[in-house]
Amino acid sequence: MSVLILGPKIDIHVQTVERCLTGLGVETYRFSLSQLLKRCNFRLELGSRTPVGAIRGVSTVDGTTGDLDFSSLSSTWLRRAGRVKAVGIPEPWAARLAERESNRAMDGLFRILPGLWVNHPTAQSEASFKVRQLQVAKDCGFDIPKTLITNDPAQVIEFHESCNRKIIYKLIDESTWECFPEFEIPKGIPTLPFRDDDLEHVQQIRYGLHLFQERIDKESDIRVTVVGQKIFAVKIESQLGKGDVDFRMDYSVPMALHQLPDEISEKCFSVLKVLGLNFGAIDLCLTRDGGYVFLEVNAAGQWLWMEMKLDMPVSEELARLLAGLSPPLVPAKSCNC
């Protein structure tokens, strides 16, 4: 039995879960795709019932390197796998070719490896679409904000009026921050209020699709971290600080463990089951009349900022899930080849 962590050593979440797995006596390998062509040898053979192959030169948690045998894997944690980078190829076109072929091969491997996934690449990719998240949450019984995606300025003006002139703007794809100039700090765009002054620039909306939502009258934000069949909820007093629209803008506000109503917990589990996820960080908000509204789910969300402050054992539970000591929400998959 062995566990593979697809993520870089410098990731503090990886380091913390590695320590937990070591404490459980589990053989653990860490691998980032950027390492592949630099110092690893790869082999994959298909044709039998299960894939046969290995990667030589994969890091282990004790700082050594070893051979990762695909047949020995019991579970894989897809944290941040990275991408394969070409090495020693002077021609740019040839380097791009090597990278594309290598990445495609690895993407294919990950889609046929049996065992428990947290989370499987196809599920993690599909879960990244905010439009789908919102519809799945609605289908599972959650209230969601009124949402408009458009490139029609007139529709935005009408939506703004219908929501009592209280709407927000957010990115449709979180990775859009990669498009920003390198000198732009901080990178990315948080959830922003759409102000009356912004109407002066509303015609710019026609150049691309934009996502707008009604601004919920929050009492607080609720971050729900689901690990297998365990759920951890934290109440964030976002309205007391600078993150009243986006709580990520101010982590200094009070926060505490929160007991979700049973029906809300079940809805959280239902959303992840439909999305095929064994791990997810769900953002809800608590309205002033006591209702819960679904905002989004991040299949690779952060949790240590809460764990360290509230002594919340998410890392330990994730390690137990990977080690087969806690039940998954989505069962381990068998090989399809």
User: Tens of pLDDT along 37-60?
Assistant: 988 899 999 887 777 889 988 887
Which pLDDT score, from 0 to 100, does residue 66 have? 82
Q: At residue 28, what are phi and psi to the nearest 5 degrees?
A: -130, 135
Residue at 68 is within a domain: yes
Domain finish residue from 171, 198, 214: 214
* 312, 274: one domain: yes
Q: Which residue reads 């150049």 in tokens?
A: 207
pLDDT in tens, 287-337: 999 999 999 999 999 999 999 999 999 999 999 999 999 999 999 875 443
Q: Residues of the chain with pLDDT > 90: what percent?
A: 75
Long-range contacts at 296-301 (CB < 8 A, ≥ 24 apart): 296/130, 296/133, 296/134, 297/127, 297/133, 297/137, 297/271, 297/272, 298/174, 299/119, 299/123, 299/124, 299/127, 299/128, 299/275, 300/78, 300/79, 300/80, 300/119, 300/124, 301/225
Distance of CA 63 to the CA centre of its chain: 27
Residue at 80 is within a domain: yes
* 102, 183: one domain: no
Domain count, the chain: 3
Q: Which domain holds residue 164?
A: 146-214
* 206, 227: one domain: no
Domain finish residue from 196, 214, 232: 214
Residue at 200 is within a domain: yes
Q: Which residues of 216-234 are buried (b: 16+ CB within 10 A; e: fewer)?
A: bebbbbbbbbbbbebbbbb
Calpha distance 73→297 (Å, rounded): 28
Q: Residues of the chain with pLDDT > 70: what percent?
A: 95
Which pLDDT score, from 0 to 100, does residue 13 have? 96
Residue at 77 is within a domain: yes
Residue at 223 is within a domain: yes
Please report, for the domain that includes residue 286, its CATH number.
Answer: 3.30.470.20
Which pLDDT score, from 0 to 100, does residue 188 have? 61
pLDDT in tens, 239-274: 999 999 999 889 999 999 999 999 999 999 999 999
Q: Is the pLDDT of residue 226 over 60?
A: yes
Q: Is the pLDDT of residue 180 over 70?
A: no
* 277, 315: one domain: yes
